[in-house]
Amino acid sequence: MSDCCSTSSVSKPSPGKYRCPVNGQNYNQVPLKTVVHHIKEPWHWKSKTQTYYFCDDPECNVVYFGDDNSIITCDHLRTSVGVKDKTDGATICYCFGVSLKDATQDIYIREYVTRQTKDRMCHCEISNPSSKCCLKDFPKS
């Protein structure tokens, strides 16, 4: 098992990046498993043998895109994507169901989530549509 919550990988140039066909920025790949867990009616979705990527730009409606420039937008998902939701009800932690509002009102929640991730109780790779650990999305106290 890789460490889904390591925070080391932000700035190193990654060969696994690809350009979002809508906003033109480069984004990291996500496991196919993650896409399948968030897309609506996955039994109707024809995934291809290719890599998929996650666009985290709040202004871009694309959530996932593939090497073939096919896109999957917010409307195609059954999960509301926290980084694209500008309300304070935006989900930031999918493992434990924490909204931005919760995290802002109770700073203890961040501690709780940190402890759970240390004990490997989190499941960010699947639960979070970005496939990344949510701790970076918590408001700084």
Per DSSP, the three-state class of 71 is strand
In angstroms, what is the minimal distance from the CB of 127 to Zn ion? 22
Q: Which is nearer to Zn ion, 69 or 105 (CB)?
A: 69
Q: Between 20 and 109, name the residue whose CB sits nearer to Zn ion.
A: 20
Task: List residues binding Zn ion (CB under 5 A).
Answer: 20, 22-23, 55, 57, 60, 62
Give the number of other Cβ atoms within 10 Å of residue 98's Cβ.
21
Using the minimum distance from each CB to Zn ion, give the nearer residue, 22 or 95: 22
Reduce the DSSP state of residue 98 to 3 states and report it.
strand
How far apart CA 73 and CA 63 sit, in angstroms, is 5
For the bound state, the minimum distance from the C-beta of residue 18 to Zn ion, rounded and expressed in Å, comes to 11
Q: How far apart are CA 12 and CA 49, in angstroms?
A: 26
Q: Which value, in Å, is the radius of gyration of the alpha carbons in the chain?
A: 15
Q: Max CA-CA distance within the chain?
A: 43
Q: And the tokens for 94?
A: 């999918």
CB of 20 to Zn ion, least distance (A): 3
Provide, rounded to whole angstroms, the least separation between the CB of residue 131 and Zn ion.
16
Contacts of 70 (CB under 8 A, 6+ apart): 48
Nearer to Zn ion, 83 or 113 (CB): 83
